[in-house]
Amino acid sequence: MYNFDQVINRKNTNSVKYDGDKAQDPRMIPMWVADMDFETLPEVKEALVKRAQHGIFGYASPTESYYQAVINWMKDRHDFLIEKDWIVTTPGVVTALKLAVKALTQDNDKVMIMKPVYYPFDFSIELNGRIIVECPLDFDGEKYTCPFDLFEKTIVENDVKMFILCNPHNPIGRVWKREELLQIGQICQKHHVYVVSDEIHMDFVYGENKHIPFYNVDESFKDFTVICTAPSKTFNLAALQTSNIIIANEKMREAFHKVKMANGVNDPNIFGLDACEAAYTYGHQWVDELVDYLQANIDYMTEFFKERLPEIKVISPEGLYLVWVDMRALGMDQDQLEDFMLNKAYLWLDEGYIFGTGGAGFERFNVACPRSILKQALEQLEKAIRER
């Protein structure tokens, strides 16, 4: 049994989350950026210590055992059968998104995203001279769905060349069903649209929901899709900058490699490679227990709001350790809500509006923390609302 209740002091550790400007007030609880407050599994630490003790840190590249660990994890956890040649390593998924946009589209091409969505998608498109096209998700107050008619209409009317899919979808917590993914893929296939599927949160799925890698939906989707994966979210390894990008189509993979080389993007460093291999080799039980703990945190949070702040609505997540919360009943605009969270509730969150269309009035909570921290955060919020 692993101890996810342990509180570890992350102050003064070069932590973006805990050492940023907004975290300097001792009352502030940071629950914004998507890294966890849990220590990673012992085998990862042991691998890093072993590498450090060797004392020589020359150039490194992925080994056969590294590739096999990635292949085995995808097969065992997701019934996702990949080949070594399909794996392209990069320092991160956001890096890979930018490389894919540059490799597979041209200047001023249209790239579509479904908002609200992870905001670096915007940067990956705009900073590479492409044009964002939005297809807002449908929301009935309880659940988000893909508006398929609008999805296809938007592609056709804007001559969209690429669609960036988020699955599980950050920040709303949807784990797209097979039939939904099939319809998305068939529309993109029909109109010759590349798909880049960000599946970095693939290991965080709750209840009877099941993550389905985009290639597993239909064999033909391999011909026009890039799948982005990484151990960074699953095992809390973000600073080790390691991701595995799956590209089955040889021509697309060559184009991706070419842009990677042209822009001086290196393979992950030797510590990231060792950590990923150890995590994927030894981490099954750790992840199983972690997901159970996160589900209990989500349940605790949901019940807290239901019983003590019923005007606030948790959008029940099917995946992610990030919980999308509807705060619109508080009657604040986005600036007032952000100020209230920071300066009254002392919570540093990712504000809903940064995720684009449909996000204003929502907050994204990172609940990958010990229950005691989550409890304190929710009680601070309750106190601030009561005093308002």
- Position 158 scores a pLDDT of 98
| Burial class of 335 by CB neighbour count within 10 A (0 to 12, 13 to 18, 19+) | exposed
- Position 317 scores a pLDDT of 98
- Position 262 scores a pLDDT of 97
Residues in contact with 345: Cβ distance below 8 Å, sequence separation at least 6, in sequence order: 380, 381, 383, 384, 385
Instruction: Say if residues 346 and 29 touch (Cβ distance below 8 Å).
Output: yes
Q: Which of 338, 345, 325 is nearest to 387 (CA)?
A: 345
Strands (E), 98-247: 110-113, 131-134, 138-139, 144-145, 160-166, 194-198, 225-229, 243-246
pLDDT in tens, the chain (388 residues): 999 999 999 999 999 999 999 999 999 999 999 999 999 999 999 999 999 999 999 999 999 999 999 999 999 999 999 999 999 999 999 999 999 999 999 999 999 999 999 999 999 999 999 999 999 999 999 999 999 999 999 999 999 999 999 999 999 999 999 999 999 999 999 999 999 999 999 999 999 999 999 999 999 999 999 999 999 999 999 999 999 999 999 999 999 999 999 999 999 999 999 999 999 999 999 999 999 999 999 999 999 999 999 999 999 999 999 999 999 999 999 999 999 999 999 999 999 999 999 999 999 999 999 999 999 999 999 999 999 9
- Position 19 scores a pLDDT of 96
Q: What is the helix (H) or strand (E) element at residue 153, kind and residue range? A: helix 148-158
- Position 68 scores a pLDDT of 98
- Position 123 scores a pLDDT of 96
Q: Where are the alpha helices (DSSP H) in 191-269?
A: 214-217, 232-235, 250-262
- Position 324 scores a pLDDT of 98
Domain residue ranges of the chain, discontinuous segments joined by +: 16-41+284-387, 57-282
Q: 57-282 maps to which CATH number?
A: 3.40.640.10
Domains 16-41+284-387 and 57-282 share a fold: no
In degrees and rounded to multiples of 5, residue 85 shows phi and psi of -65, -20
Report the alpha-carbon angle 205-69-273, nearest 5: 100
Strands (E), 167-306: 194-198, 225-229, 243-246
- Position 70 scores a pLDDT of 98
* pTM, full prediction: 0.97
- Position 95 scores a pLDDT of 98
Structure tokens at 202: 């693939």
Q: Give the pairing type, strands 144-145 and 138-139.
A: antiparallel
- Position 264 scores a pLDDT of 96
Which tens digit of pLDDT belongs to each residue from 197-214?
999 999 999 999 999 999
Structure tokens at 193: 């649209």
CATH of 16-41+284-387, one of 2.60.34.10, 3.90.1150.10, 2.60.40.420, 3.40.50.300: 3.90.1150.10
- Position 2 scores a pLDDT of 97
Can the peptide bond before residue 231 be classed as cis, meaning omega within 30 degrees of 0? no
